[in-house]
Structure 1
Amino acid sequence: MLTYTGDTTYDLVLSIALAFALFVAVAAWFVPSPYGRFASPRLGVALDPRLGWFLMELPATLVFLYFFLRGPHRGELVPLVFLGMWLLHYGNRGFYFPLSMRVPRGQRSTFGLLVVGTGVLVTAIHGYLHADFITRLGPHYGPEWLKDPRFLAGFVVYYISFILTLHSDSILRNLRSREEVASGERVYRIPRGGLFRWVTNPSYLTELTGWAGFALCTWSLAGVFIFAISAANLVPRAFATHAWYKQKFPDYPPERRALVPFIL
């Protein structure tokens, strides 16, 4: 059963984080998170999207490592497995992904400082809640946890989601040629192949299933938080992106759904 830890500071931060996820779940339907195609110049100084994304995701790695290395169970097998899963995800999302973006030369309209600041806060809380739970406040994960059905199911879902995310990211990245990037031309095309056969936003879908898998693996309210805040942001954004594509491209495939194949 998922419960609070009994640690006053941790449980307070967790409560605030869950309340914030609820707030975002409501607000995001009215104002999509202002980055990418929904960026707004009113929300701060614009940054290069690669730098903005890197800064926004960096605390998830640094804060997690700081609290992980302070935890009394940091050297045990299961926490080390979680560490590997975490570093794999953020090695891709926080470092490789922004470095591999094909951004038209001179583009600085994607990330405002307000967006980056909010992202930094969320990823820092996310890193703290997970690391402190895994290595100090949670159940003492013995080696037998690696055979638990919750861990096994979550582990499989997590890694399938990770592989599918890489594939979807690659399709999107290759929509824009290096020549177009060098010329500064901003081009949008309809992505095709992979999960794009069925949904407009496959990377959003696999981000959510990946965090659902991680929540199962850790069996923690910290996992519930990152899934909830991700869903609160990505579900409304998926619908807004789907509407944007349908408006921009008259020949947009009508069979595609916004987020969940055949359903949503």
Structure 2
Amino acid sequence: MSYWFVDSVGGEEDVYYLLLRAFQISCAFVVGGELVFGSPYGSQSTYKGMFALNGRLIWILMELVSPVALLYSYYAMDTSIPENRSKAHSPIALAFCALWVVHYANRALVYPLRQASRKPMHVGIGLVSCVFNTLNGYLNGRWFSVFSNGLYSDDYFYTYTWQVVLGLCLFVLGMAGNIYHDNILMQLRRPADGTSNNRYLVPVGGLFAMVSCPHYFCEVVEWTGYALLTQSPAAWTFVLATLCNLLPRAYSIHKWYQHEFPKYPQNRKAMVPYVI
């Protein structure tokens, strides 16, 4: 896509593309860091020190940052952008923002509030996630409102018909798959009497027959669909960041399952069916 190589000039646009490139480059460090240090939250966390805070609250706060940053960036400071470079508040761009908000309404509120319990989380994990979500929301919000330079005109759906159709299908299927497999995991931690279960069990059903972390696979599918749908370099960067974050974590969880359960199914991959 040519948008990855736009020659930026002046003001915020220079900063925007600098941050976009830095975000892309940082993905390599995320992979390296997780392979060395792991991703210490959820089943992978044993920390109970003074910096461990309520896991549910931290999760809600750090996930809410993303839609807030996106909407603020989408609507903010439009008067500072020359009229010949701003196509802000396009109905199509607004629809794409709405899909983002729908995802995070589930991820930030519905998902954690439905969980029977959640382990304490190190405050540092929450702070890093807040920085990530702020930057990600800014990059996507400003692309939609300013730096897409009229991409989302009335003929967008006609110009990118197959990308829109395929992208929307992948987004919906990925989000549905993510919720479905999250529900399976929730049921394992919630016995019939409705109490919290502190023991981990081997999940079964759906794509768990093939991989240890189908909810992560579905999330990558969802955001890949979103990137196809929007034709946004910021969205494609989010796909890269999501993959670089979730793939090493899925590998760690996969190894943890194998260690904790000697009879764990040997045919399962970590995240991508038949691949890894």
Which residue does the alignment assign to 1:244?
256
Residue 168 of structure 1: which of 141, 157, 181 is its match? 181
CA distance in 2, matches of 1:227, 1:53: 20
Letter matched to residue 20 of structure 1? S
Which residue does the alignment assign to 1:87?
101
Does 2:32 align with 1:32?
A: no
Distance 1:197 1:28, change over 3 A: same
Which residue does the alignment assign to 2:243?
231
Question: Are the counterparts in 2 of residues 21 and 225 from structure 1 also a CA contact under 8 Å?
Answer: no
- The structure number with the bigger radius of gyration is 2
CA distance in 2, matches of 1:133, 1:27: 29
Question: Are the counterparts in 1 of residues 191 and 197 from structure 2 also a CA contact under 8 Å?
Answer: no
Letter matched to residue 42 of structure 2? G
- 1:114 deviates by 0.6
Which residue does the alignment assign to 1:155?
168
* TM-score of the pair, normalised by structure 2: 0.87
Q: How does 1:12-23 map to 2 (within 5 A)?
A: 12-23=18-29
Letter matched to residue 153 of structure 2? G
Q: How does 1:8-157 map to 2 (within 5 A)?
A: 8-41=14-47, 45-70=51-76, 71=78, 73-103=87-117, 108-109=119-120, 111-140=121-150, 141-147=152-158, 148=160, 149-157=162-170
Higher relative contact order (CA 8 A, sep 6+): 1
Consecutive unaligned residues of structure 2, counting only runs of 5 or more, are 79-85
Which residue does the alignment assign to 1:202?
214
- Over residues 5-64 of structure 1, what are the superposed CA-to-partner deviations in whole Å (9 max), with x where a residue is unaligned? 521111122122112212112221111111112225388611222112112211101111
Question: Are the counterparts in 1 of residues 87 and 149 from structure 2 also a CA contact under 8 Å?
Answer: no
- 1:181 deviates by 6.8
Q: Comparing 69-78 with 226-235, which one deviates more in the overlay?
A: 69-78
CA distance in 2, matches of 1:248, 1:117: 30
CA distance in 2, matches of 1:108, 1:252: 24
Letter matched to residue 140 of structure 2? H
Distance 1:32 1:43, change over 3 A: farther
Consecutive unaligned residues of structure 1, counting only runs of 5 or more, are none
Question: Are the counterparts in 2 of residues 155 and 217 from structure 1 also a CA contact under 8 Å?
Answer: yes
State the Cα RMSD in Å.
2.0
Report the number of matched residues.
Answer: 259
Which residue does the alignment assign to 1:3?
4
- Over residues 59-86 of structure 1, what are the superposed CA-to-partner deviations in whole Å (9 max), with x where a residue is unaligned? 1011111111235544322112102211
